[in-house]
Amino acid sequence: MKRNNLLFCGALTLGGALSFSLLTFGGCSFAQTGKDSPLYGIEIRETETELSPGAKRAYAYLVYSRALAGEDEAGLLRAAPLLRDIGASPQVWLEGAVWLMTRGTPAVLPFAQEAVNACGDNVSLNLIYAEALAANGLNEKALQLMRDYLQRHPDAMDARLELALLLVKCSRFEEAERILLAITGKERTPMVEYYHARALIGMQRNDEAVEHLKIAVKENPSFTEAMLELAYLYERRSEYEKARTIYERLLRRNVSPEKIVLRLITLSLRMKQPEKALSYMKYGPDNDAFRITAAGLFMEERHYLQAEGLLKQVAASGNATADVFLLLADLSFEQRRNLQQACLWLDKVPPEEGDRALLLRAQLYAQDNQWDKALEYLRQGIAAYPDKPVFGLMEIRMLYSRDRKDEARTAAEQAVKRWPDDEDIAFIYGSLLDEQGKKKEALAVMEQIILDHPKSHAALNYVGYTLAEQGRDLDRALELLRRADELDPGQAYIMDSLAWAYFKKGNIDEALKQIRRAVAAGDTVDPAIWEHYGDIAAKAGFKDEARKAYTNALAGKPANTAAIKKKLSQL
């Protein structure tokens, strides 16, 4: 309202200036100067070549206000130099900067820069400019802005806190803590305690952080951010009851009820209280999306009965998606082995999602040991959904799992013809050829996969390891295996292949390094990897290490037990 009145007055001023200018423009119509002249007694002014100060002010506020009202970022940037020229108040600049900041637009940077240039000592404008810089990835510039401000105003507490917060955001926790430790006495507000806790959390000093957050919440019981952080730390320490107490306080204050209810459900499930978890549902939003999310939490903690009840509520609403019916089908079978009920749920899946229903139907029949029926459904899928290679892939795997390997290879040959560009089908076909002793044909398939899919880490590993095992083209083998390791880091079987290639190349030190990585990569290590470890360690002269590796290999009961025992006896 204040701004509207100001604009109205400004408009009058501007209108008056323009009127007098028009009266003096030209000079032909009112050439008379005597008593009969319409201008008799009026002083004629020279033509104005620029707006008066009042008109400039009115124009600046007009451009500024129209930009805000019309949500026009470019218009607000055009208003910035006008506001600077008229010496607009910090509050005006702040209003524009906050509006741009809330929109998350980079336009806030030039506007806030103009604001700070115009009102350099205003702390609020410096703070919002620093926040804008940090939000746009200009952390160092934001830090320098705050440091410069504190040089001029060393007692500015808001600026000191902002610098500490920016340091926390930049993961420079030690420096942030030094700033916060220097704040003592009455200046040590709940906000200082909160920022101090944030710095400590960044340094993994969670127990200390808890104490600072407790102080912040005690001194300011409505400090939501501190309460949330404290509840989170209690969760991390498995102090679920304390965390739940805080979340319930926040729920009573109606703080983010949906998120808080989900946290309360999760905590109760971790405390093995599924019925208590279910009781919180009444505090969440009454919609299907929330019920589905909550059902997912119950399923993650293996409380399937409660999950099923929530999903049935969604199904009864008449707006259920395919996912709901698929989950209900899966739960019906997993909970009660009720295949008939599961199929009834699958019948409700909309036709446009029929491929997913058919695939799950095949999986459920396979789990019920009705293999021929499961295969029948997969073959229906192959015919009905020619753009879904997953049906062909599952048919191959199902046949192989039933030891029907010739049928599996035939199915793979047909699948490769039907889906020639599918990487997974090509790989499983090559693997079947390899297993049946057709190494040359298998290698050709894998080489073609690398050509068609250069990022296929599985094919890269296969070709690299095959070359290493054959002791040929070892430089290429290493190149392929290093690429596979980069594409899918942390895979023990790829590290093992890489170690074996180095071993064959004669680089024992690197081979030992890679095989140690391989056995450390997972809890369960394949006996073949332990055997390679034994071979490499023995070659390096580390007999105790080799002995331990061979012993671990034998513990896995591999097919070549006799050969490994012989190696062990020769150490």
Instruction: With beta carbons less than 8 A apart as the criterion, state whether 153 and 123 touch.
Output: yes
User: In this predicted structure, what is the pLDDT of residue 41?
Assistant: 52
Which region among 157-166, 323-332, 488-497, 557-566 has the lowest average model confidence (pLDDT)? 157-166
Checking if the pLDDT of 17 tops 70, the result is no
Checking if the pLDDT of 9 tops 70, the result is no
Split at pLDDT 50, 70, 90, the class of 251 is very high
Checking if the pLDDT of 37 tops 60, the result is no
Which region among 44-48, 122-126, 287-291 has the lowest average model confidence (pLDDT)? 44-48
Which region among 7-11, 24-28, 465-469 has the lowest average model confidence (pLDDT)? 7-11
More confident of the two residues 549 and 183: 549
Q: What are phi and psi of 505, to 5 degrees?
A: -75, -15
Q: Which domains does the chain have, with CATH numbers?
A: 480-571 (1.25.40.10)
Mean pLDDT computed over 356-379: 97
User: In this predicted structure, what is the pLDDT of residue 47?
Assistant: 44
Instruction: With beta carbons less than 8 A apart as the criterion, state whether 518 and 529 touch.
Output: yes
Q: What is the mean pLDDT of the chain?
A: 89
User: In this predicted structure, what is the pLDDT of residue 42?
Assistant: 44
Q: Measuring CA to CA, how many Å separate 171 from each of 141, 145, 257, 507, 534?
A: 15, 18, 30, 40, 43
**In this predicted model, what pLDDT tens digit does every residue of 134-191 receive, in sequence order?**
889 899 999 999 899 999 999 888 888 888 888 888 888 998 999 899 888 888 889 8
User: In this predicted structure, what is the pLDDT of residue 256?
Assistant: 86
Closest Cα to residue 396, out of 432, 368, 357? 432
Mean pLDDT computed over 301-329: 94
Mean pLDDT computed over 239-244: 96
User: In this predicted structure, what is the pLDDT of residue 70?
Assistant: 87
**In this predicted model, what pLDDT tens digit does every residue of 38-73 receive, in sequence order?**
444 544 444 445 678 888 888 888 888 898 888 889
Checking if the pLDDT of 116 tops 80, the result is yes
User: In this predicted structure, what is the pLDDT of residue 36?
Assistant: 56
Closest Cα to residue 320, out of 292, 294, 295, 352? 292
Mean pLDDT computed over 521-539: 94
Cα distance between the two ends of the chain: 93
User: In this predicted structure, what is the pLDDT of residue 50?
Assistant: 67
Distance in angstroms (rounded) separating the CA atoms of residues 505 and 514: 13
User: In this predicted structure, what is the pLDDT of residue 508?
Assistant: 97
User: In this predicted structure, what is the pLDDT of residue 69?
Assistant: 87
Closest Cα to residue 292, out of 310, 275, 279? 310
Cα 524 off chain centre by: 30
Checking if the pLDDT of 415 tops 90, the result is yes
More confident of the two residues 460 and 165: 460
Split at pLDDT 50, 70, 90, the class of 29 is very low
Instruction: With beta carbons less than 8 A apart as the criterion, state whether 144 and 113 touch.
Output: no
Percent of the chain predicted with pLDDT > 70: 91
Instruction: With beta carbons less than 8 A apart as the criterion, state whether 536 and 528 touch.
Output: no
**In this predicted model, what pLDDT tens digit does every residue of 474-503 receive, in sequence order?**
999 999 999 999 999 999 999 999 999 999
Handedness of CA 120, 121, 127, 128 (dihedral sign): negative
Mean pLDDT computed over 9-29: 33
Checking if the pLDDT of 27 tops 60, the result is no
User: In this predicted structure, what is the pLDDT of residue 61?
Assistant: 85
Q: DSSP string of 14-63?
A: HHHHHHHHHHHSS-STT---STTSTTTT-PPPPPPSS--HHHHHHHHHHH
Mean pLDDT computed over 196-211: 93
